[in-house]
Chains A and B, each alone.
Chain A
Amino acid sequence: MYDSFLVRSDSLENFEENGKVAGFKFSVRIANYRGMFLSLHNGYYCEVDGISYPRSAQRLEVNGKPPRSFEDLMNHAVLEHWDMQDEAFLYVYKDGGLAPGKHRVGILESSLGSYGTMPGMEEIVKNPPDPSEGGSGKTFNVCYYDLELQN
């Protein structure tokens, strides 16, 4: 779902921490029709110019709160909902950020919402899947966007 629209084309920027460029960020929209409790969000498969960035390098800025790790969301955002109408920002740590110009960004949302208990769910609790395996979001392929760095 929304394969062409999950990332806004003018949203790619570098961000600073402690006066240094610490990484880059871009907007993300939910790839389903209902939204989700944020504890169900398992991060993104995220690649930029062919290099992939693990979930541990990612933070999500959502609901007007400072960027949080997916570990933090899993542990504390059990009753905090990401509404399907709302935009969030994915922060990715990379020393020095991205160079000026165009970049090819690929993402796949890994969310773990469900209609019911399925075989194998106990295993997901113990070992969450790598985001590259996707999840229950309704977009199954990595979606690519050619984005111009805005700053």
Chain B
Amino acid sequence: MGIKRGVSLYSYQQEEWFGRMTWRDQLKEVATNLDGATGIEIISEATIPHFPFPGEEFYQEWRFEMERWGLEAVTMDVFPDPLQFRRDHLMNDREQAERLRMELRIAKKMGFKNLRILGTPISVVELALPLAEELDVRINQEIHHPSTIRRPEHPTPFDNGKIMDIAEYIQKTGTKHYGLHPDFGIFKKEPPRVYMDYYFRAAGEKHWAEGSAETIERFRACKTQEDEEALKEWAKQTYPKVFNNPANPFALEELNHAHVPVEDLKLIAPYIYVCHGKFLEMTEIPGMPGEYEDKSIDYEGAIRVLKEIGFEGYIDSEYEGQRNQQDRGLEYMANEIEEVRRHQKMMKRLIGE
């Protein structure tokens, strides 16, 4: 046994958007070019045509193709969109639960064992749990940056202690159909180069590549919280269009260290069923030809701790670096297929298959 490898088809979103790969092509790529990856994750409305009413033929084709390639349907990511009925009201808990139940039924028909939710409260999950148990489809809360695992000292709407609330709820009720789904983006080590480059370009900085590289270099030199604050001040002064610009809201945020220690996974170990292997850019490791790493995320630490706690679920590659390379010509865009292949190769190495 051990940790299993899968791919979220989110990784191929650009190929899908440009009509270069269909979901069938994506399944084939996972099954034939990733040296033993067996798991598939999708975003329901991104992959399912005419969502939420694709017709019986789609479900048959899906199950046929999954069977054909020997793939396992791991997770289906869903969204609640509480403004769907904004013509007259904000969705209440009962309506959010009904949408979740709709997704549970779709997941069941496609063979998925897990749903991924993000902003859905416990009160809504509670209403959908009886159906989740009946269908044997688990609902997992993603732990996504800027959320942390522990209860934060200073709660914000996006980091409010919800993860520990859920862990306590699962422990109290003993349910096997509510769980947690860490996204490795919480273990950020440094600003991803592709993000930083984009923020500089979006701000109209002519020497974007140099400015971006200089900022990352200075970030690496930070040792303390004070260094980090000084860096932010330097960035705002030196590159105001990038770091002091309301139209570029996420640039300064990238200069925060992630504060989730990989060891915190141990606090929630029994409730982790799947993980997002989020990544932004795979580069060759100096001195190790053909071996790759993502400099911005602590994969070694995360996988080491998952092995220590005996995790045997799937880590699904979730490539997200393409989005910030679509502001120039086609020739500058990322190669999603190659990035996922490199990422899988890295995971295989770190898992120790």
Contacts and interface: CB of A to CB of B under 8 A. Distances in A.
A115 B77 CA distance: 11
Interface string A8-31: 000000000000000000000100
A4 interface: yes
Interface stretch (A44-52, A53-61, A88-96, A118-126): A118-126
B270 interface: no
Contacts of B121: 116-117
B118 A116 contact: yes
A125 B10 CA distance: 30
Given A74-B86, A78-B87, A115-B119, A1 B80 contact: no
Contacts of B88: 125
B350 interface: no
Contacts of A35: 45-46, 51
Interface stretch (B13-21, B25-33, B225-233): B13-21
Contact of A37 (B49, B81, B157): B81
Chain A, interface SS category: loop
B209 interface: no
A122 B17 CA distance: 32
B144 to A, nearest CB: 9
Interface in B99-156: 118-121
A125 B326 contact: no
A85 B79 CA distance: 18
A116 B83 contact: no
Interface in A121-145: 121-122, 124-125, 128, 138, 140-141
Contacts of A1: 323, 326
A16 to B, nearest CB: 30
A141 B119 CA distance: 25
Given A85-B19, A116-B120, A39 B85 contact: yes
Contacts of A146: none
B261 interface: no
Q: Which of B49, B89, B323, B329 has the most CB of A within 10 A?
A: B323
B52 A81 contact: yes
Contact of B86 (A81, A118, A124, A138): A124
Which bucket holds chain A's interface residue count?
35 or more
Contacts of A3: 326-327
B50 interface: yes
Given A4-B327, A34-B43, A84-B46, A124 B17 contact: no
Given A4-B328, A34-B45, A35-B51, A114 B85 contact: no
A140 B46 contact: no
Contact of B90 (A29, A117, A140): A117
A150 interface: no
A83 interface: yes
A40 B84 contact: yes
Interface of B: 10, 13, 16-19, 43, 45-46, 49-52, 79-91, 96, 118-121, 157, 202, 247-249, 323, 326-329
Q: Which 4 A-B pairs have the closest CB atoms?
A: A116-B119, A115-B119, A3-B327, A115-B118
13 contacts: A33-B10, A34-B45, A34-B46, A36-B45, A37-B84, A39-B86, A74-B86, A74-B87, A81-B51, A115-B119, A121-B90, A122-B90, A140-B248
Interface of A: 1-5, 29, 33-37, 39-40, 74-75, 78-79, 81, 83-85, 112-119, 121-122, 124-125, 128, 138, 140-141
